[in-house]
């Protein structure tokens, strides 16, 4: 194998979009530098913030927590929040991993559940949605409910920012899905940082420029414990899987496609946002495209 771009060691990582070739050490520093650069570039943090990290136990959120602690815990307060959607044999296992890691770190932590806060687990939702197309698929309930609880609980924890583990692949999939759906309203809400308002904490995605594969590599290099069986048992319903497959194929054939889609979106974003004005839910203050947010609408539908 070829040499590292930065030293005379053998390269262990080949990143075709650069192209970059790095040894373990230089891959690590490349990954960490990009993380800090992302936070600066999108002005994600100012001084003395209270950052509530959404921790699911998966690789993204565990790497995010690790990096925020490593580089920002001196100037910022870092707290963790886990949400239990009530998906048996999945989230309970992931949360166990999350809790173990969080306890090691001695940071303020909260665990909230769909059951307690909404009166329904995702299994209850699935029983209602089943094949009933008019109220939407099971998976379309999970995200809005999770975002709603994330915000409400972060408010209780005095957060000034909510940090989530969304990576480059996630974001590019969302952009493509909104493009295929002709959904400008939703597309306007994407991006590295979401504006806040009274009762709505701004959300940041510090792993926004990190490809999923590299997060997996970083987690393994740095021995970051995480729950790796990441496929939700309900996700056979998710349209996202089809987009993931298609986009990964494009990235393999044409390296750099992901960053190119992201840049296209960022060039377009100001005009989309001018057209699609940001509004907030009358009931719970969450960012919303109508009078009520999708979580509040969906709660009405299944109750
Ligand atoms: Zn090197
Ligand atoms: Zn709402």
Tokens of 193: 């940082």
Buried b (16+ CB within 10 A) or exposed e, 205-244: bbbbbbbbebbbbbbeeeebebbeeeebebeeebeeeebb
Domain 42-276 has CATH 3.40.50.620: yes
- 20 CA to centre of ligand 1 in angstroms: 11
Q: What is the pLDDT of residue 105?
A: 86
Q: What is the pLDDT of residue 302?
A: 82
Q: What is the pLDDT of residue 237?
A: 57
- 32 CA to centre of ligand 1 in angstroms: 14
In three-state secondary structure terms, 269 is helix
Q: For all residues of the chain together, what is the average pLDDT?
A: 91
Give percent of the chain with pLDDT exceeding 90.
Answer: 65
276 pLDDT above the threshold of 90: no
Structure confidence at residue 246 as a pLDDT band (50, 70, 90): very high
Side-chain half-sphere exposure of 282, counting CA atoms within 13 A: 4
- 223 CA to centre of ligand 1 in angstroms: 19
- Alpha-carbon span 21 to 270, nearest angstrom: 35
Q: What is the pLDDT of residue 108?
A: 93
Q: Is residue 275 exposed (0-12), middle (13-18) or buried (19+ Cβ within 10 Å)?
A: exposed
Q: What is the pLDDT of residue 133?
A: 55
- 296 CA to centre of ligand 2 in angstroms: 4
The predicted model gives 134-162 an average pLDDT of: 88
The ligand that comes nearest to the alpha carbon of residue 30 is 1
- 1 CA to centre of ligand 1 in angstroms: 13
Pairing of strands 77-84, 50-54: parallel
Q: What is the pLDDT of residue 87?
A: 84
In three-state secondary structure terms, 221 is helix
- 293 CA to centre of ligand 2 in angstroms: 4
pTM value is: 0.93
- Alpha-carbon span 52 to 54, nearest angstrom: 6
Comparing 124-128, 150-154, 177-181, the range with the smallest average pLDDT is 124-128
Spans of all domains in the chain? 1-32, 42-276
The 3-class SS string of 235-246 reads HHHCCHHHHHHH
1 pLDDT above the threshold of 70: no
Structure confidence at residue 287 as a pLDDT band (50, 70, 90): confident
Give percent of the chain with pLDDT exceeding 70.
Answer: 95
Read off the pLDDT of residues 76-123 as tens digits, 9 standing for 90 and up: 999 999 999 888 877 888 888 898 889 888 899 999 999 998 888 888
Q: What is the pLDDT of residue 132?
A: 56
Q: What is the pLDDT of residue 165?
A: 97
- 74 CA to centre of ligand 2 in angstroms: 35
**Helix residue ranges per DSSP H, the chain:** 24-41, 59-72, 91-105, 114-118, 122-129, 139-156, 168-180, 184-187, 212-221, 240-253, 257-275, 294-302
Q: What is the CA radius of gyration of the chain?
A: 19
Q: Are 152 and 146 in contact (CB under 8 A)?
A: no
Structure confidence at residue 236 as a pLDDT band (50, 70, 90): low
- Alpha-carbon span 205 to 60, nearest angstrom: 11
- 73 CA to centre of ligand 2 in angstroms: 32
The ligand that comes nearest to the alpha carbon of residue 5 is 1
Structure confidence at residue 240 as a pLDDT band (50, 70, 90): confident
The predicted model gives 158-168 an average pLDDT of: 97
230 pLDDT above the threshold of 70: no
Q: What is the pLDDT of residue 7?
A: 97
Read off the pLDDT of residues 29-74 as tens digits, 9 standing for 90 and up: 999 999 999 999 999 999 999 999 999 999 999 999 999 999 999 9
- Alpha-carbon span 238 to 258, nearest angstrom: 20
Q: Is residue 202 exposed (0-12), middle (13-18) or buried (19+ Cβ within 10 Å)?
A: middle
DSSP structure string for 23-89: -HHHHHHHHHHHHHHHHHHTT---TT-EEEEE--SSHHHHHHHHHHHHHHTTTSEEEEEEEE---TT
Tokens of 76: 């910022």
Q: What is the pLDDT of residue 142?
A: 85
């Amino acid at each position: 194998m070829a040499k590292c771009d930065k030293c005379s060691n053998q390269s262990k990582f080949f990143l075709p979009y650069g192209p970059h070739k790095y040894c373990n050490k230089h891959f690590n520093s490349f990954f960490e530098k990009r993380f800090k650069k992302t936070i600066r570039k999108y002005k994600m943090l100012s001084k003395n913030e209270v950052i509530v990290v959404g921790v699911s136990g998966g690789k993204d959120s565990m790497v995010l927590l690790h990096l925020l602690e490593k580089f920002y815990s001196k100037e910022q307060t870092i707290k963790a929040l886990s949400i239990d959607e009530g998906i048996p044999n999945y989230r309970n296992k992931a949360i166990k991993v999350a809790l173990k890691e969080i306890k090691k770190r001695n940071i303020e932590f909260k665990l909230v559940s769909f059951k307690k806060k909404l009166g329904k687990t995702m299994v209850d939702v699935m029983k209602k949605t089943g094949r009933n197309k008019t109220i939407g698929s099971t998976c379309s309930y999970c995200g809005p409910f999770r975002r709603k609880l994330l915000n409400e609980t972060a408010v209780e924890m005095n957060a000034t920012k909510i940090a989530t583990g969304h990576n480059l692949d996630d974001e590019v999939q969302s952009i493509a899905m909104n493009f295929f759906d002709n959904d400008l309203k939703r597309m306007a809400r994407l991006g590295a940082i979401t504006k806040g308002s009274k009762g709505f904490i701004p959300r940041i995605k510090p792993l926004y420029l990190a490809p999923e594969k590299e997060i997996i590599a970083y987690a393994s290099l740095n021995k970051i414990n995480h729950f790796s069986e990441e496929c939700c048992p309900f996700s056979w319903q998710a349209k996202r899987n089809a987009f993931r497959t298609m986009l990964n194929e494009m990235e393999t054939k044409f390296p750099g496609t992901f960053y190119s889609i992201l840049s296209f979106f960022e060039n377009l974003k100001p005009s989309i946002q001018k057209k699609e004005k940001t509004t907030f839910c009358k009931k719970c203050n969450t960012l919303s495209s109508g009078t009520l947010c999708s979580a509040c609408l969906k709660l009405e539908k299944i109750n």
